Amino acid sequence: MNFNKNDENYIYEVISKNIKKYRKLKGWTQQELADKINYSLSFIRGIESSYLHTFSLGALWRISQVLEVDFNKLCEDNLASNIKSKSIVYKCAKCGTETKFPTQLIKNLKELNETSGNNNLPSFNCTNDNCDGRIFPLNTMDF
């Protein structure tokens, strides 16, 4: 669904996408997020599918607190830029966990590394808390 910015549905769409994104970064299911803020699963489903328009500012605040993201990040408009900025998939060599990063972010990190003579692609610690592996880009052709 794509809403016009002049339509108030737009902000619900933005918030739903952001909550989903930050929830997934935490590795939580909708049920897990619901449990952490003491709301029902259907409440989280409603927000994330952007059809529920009756949640309070307080509920959003609690969500931002448990997700440990700045409140304003939940309202950050990435809808337009998501279309043009591609993401790159990283995969853990040890446990197989896949994580997506914005390609632009990785390119910036790579350029930063190169200024200090490191020409390797950036790699990170595994996003799975129970794993001590490293994650590497699945497809280096993305660069």
99 binds Zn ion (CB under 5 A): no
Binding characters for Zn ion, 64-93, by CB under 5 A (x = yes): ----------------------------x-
CA distance 74 to 114: 33
Whole-number minimum distance, CB 121 to Zn ion, in Å? 17
- Residue appearing with tokens 């409603």: 46
94 binds Zn ion (CB under 5 A): yes
Confirm if 88 and 122 have CB atoms less than 8 A apart.
no
Confirm if 97 and 86 have CB atoms less than 8 A apart.
no
The one among 104, 128, 136, 142 contacting Zn ion by CB under 5 A: 128
136 binds Zn ion (CB under 5 A): no
CA distance 54 to 75: 16
Terminal-to-terminal C-alpha distance of the chain: 30
Binding characters for Zn ion, 9-48, by CB under 5 A (x = yes): ----------------------------------------
**Which amino acid belongs to residue 83?**
I
Binding segment (CB under 5 A) for Zn ion, from list 32-40, 64-72, 106-114, 124-132: 124-132
The one among 66, 95, 109, 121 contacting Zn ion by CB under 5 A: 95
Beta bridge partners of 124: 135
SS3 content of the chain, % helix, strand, coil (to 5): 50, 10, 40
Question: Would you tell me which residues interact with Zn ion (CB under 5 A)?
Answer: 92, 94-95, 97, 126, 128, 131, 133
